[in-house]
Amino acid sequence: MASRSSARGARIGAGCNIGRGAYIGPDVVVGDNCKIQNYALIYEPARLANGVFIGPAVVLTNDEFPRAVNPDGSAKSADDWHSVGVNIEEGASIGGRAVCIAPVTIGAWALVAAGAVVTKDVPAHALVVGVPARRVGWVGRAGQPLVRDGEDWVCPVNGERYREEQNDKLVLVGAAA
């Protein structure tokens, strides 16, 4: 489906649910069927793929080195900084009050736990927790933690099987029988 534009210049996809008090900055792109909970702050130039969940009071930053003033004491203006974004890939979920510090990418179907602070890229299907966020497991597309079965990881909901590869990467190797 075609996306629609908001009055502020953000592009919001079809079928999105945006909660009360959520801020979506200009030039943010939100894919189809995303859910953005109450009081989330999504600063430009964030990019959310289809099916992304943003929990209540989540913050996606856009300033890698924030300062209110320049070294000479003059107030910073838009010309004094370059905004960087948070990219969230398909189906990923960001738990309530988590903070993602740009520039970072959250991989497809990853799960960022509530209250986590993400300071580096999160691989697809990773379950990350803490401050700073660190991987403690893997999750499937159904959102449940995967269970180890020999060399594979298995989704307890739909039986999908995944295999961990080098460089902290998980790949789908088979659907349920």
Regarding whether 78 and 30 lie in a shared domain, the answer is yes
Phi, psi values for residue 130, rounded to 5°: 95, 180
Regarding whether 162 and 111 lie in a shared domain, the answer is no
Segment 27-37, tens digit of pLDDT = 999 999 999 99
3-state helix, strand, coil in the chain (%, to 5): 0, 35, 60
Residue 177: its pLDDT value, please?
A: 55
pLDDT band, residue 167 (cuts 50/70/90): confident
Regarding whether 98 and 176 lie in a shared domain, the answer is no
Supply angle C-alpha 108, 93, 66, rounded to 5: 95
Could you tell me the residue range of the domain that residue 176 belongs to?
140-177
Token pair 């159904």: residue: 142
Residue 152: its pLDDT value, please?
A: 94
> 1 pLDDT exceeds 60?
no
User: Which CATH number covers residue 134?
Assistant: 2.160.10.10
Regarding whether 117 and 64 lie in a shared domain, the answer is yes
Segment 68-104, tens digit of pLDDT = 999 999 999 888 888 999 999 999 999 999 999 999 9
Regarding whether 165 and 100 lie in a shared domain, the answer is no
**How many Å apart are CA 165 and CA 177, to the nearest integer?**
22
Q: Rounded to the nearest 10 degrees, how much is the dihedral formed by the CA atoms of 55, 112, 108, 166?
A: 180
Q: What's the domain count of the chain?
A: 2
Regarding whether 106 and 32 lie in a shared domain, the answer is yes
